[in-house]
Amino acid sequence: MTQSAAMNRVMVAGVGNIFLADDGFGVEVARRLRGETFPPGVEVEDYGIRGMHLAFQLLEGYDTLILIDAVQRGDRPGTIYVIEPDLEREPVNPATDAHTMNPEAVLATLAALGGRVRRVLVVGCEPAELVERIGLSEVVSRAIDDAMSVVRELIDEVTVNRIETTKGVRTNV
């Protein structure tokens, strides 16, 4: 097996709307991670609300998608989650709006286009404020370094084939 055949392709995608306060969490984490060096095959991008763009990029063939996003689960604001959705569930309808950034709609659009990603991991942060404003709340801003550490760990795990989790949620990681 050649080096390129053995390499895992990983897309780390920061998503969210920077005009809705803490919804810009994923965008900010991706922006900061872009300046770092990762193993071959790992790409870090800020997709913001460009869900259709992300779906088309995933057609290029990725083994793992790590999405970074604000995720409301009802916990304390600033809580970091790792969620591995069950990709075998019934998919939602593909996005009809090119600016829709709903992760489920992106994956459904990818499937409708004939593509798939083997594994999806969501690094989420419980938002404090989802109001019309540019800039993260103080508590979510403080969670960025922790989220970056979690993303780095996940990249390490998936690029050396060590991640063996069950489907579900890891909280307070």
Is residue 120 within 8 Å of 67, Cβ to Cβ?
A: yes
Residue by residue, DSSP assigns 74-106 as: SS-TT-EEEEE--TTSPPPPPPSSTT---HHHH
Helices (runs of H) and strands (runs of E) counted in the chain: 6, 6
pLDDT at position 165: 45
The DSSP code for 20 is B
Which strands make up the sheet holding 168-171, listed edge to edge?
42-48, 10-15, 64-70, 119-125, 80-84, 168-171
Please report, for the chain, the start and end positions of each structural domain, with discontinuous segments joined by +.
3-171
Read off the pTM.
Answer: 0.84
What's the CATH fold of domain 3-171?
Rossmann fold (3.40.50)
| Kind plus residue range of the DSSP H or E element containing 148 | helix 144-159
Q: What is the pLDDT of residues 147-158, one digit of tens each?
A: 999 999 999 999
Q: What is the pLDDT of residues 79-122, one digit of tens each?
A: 999 999 877 765 555 544 544 567 788 888 898 899 999 999 99
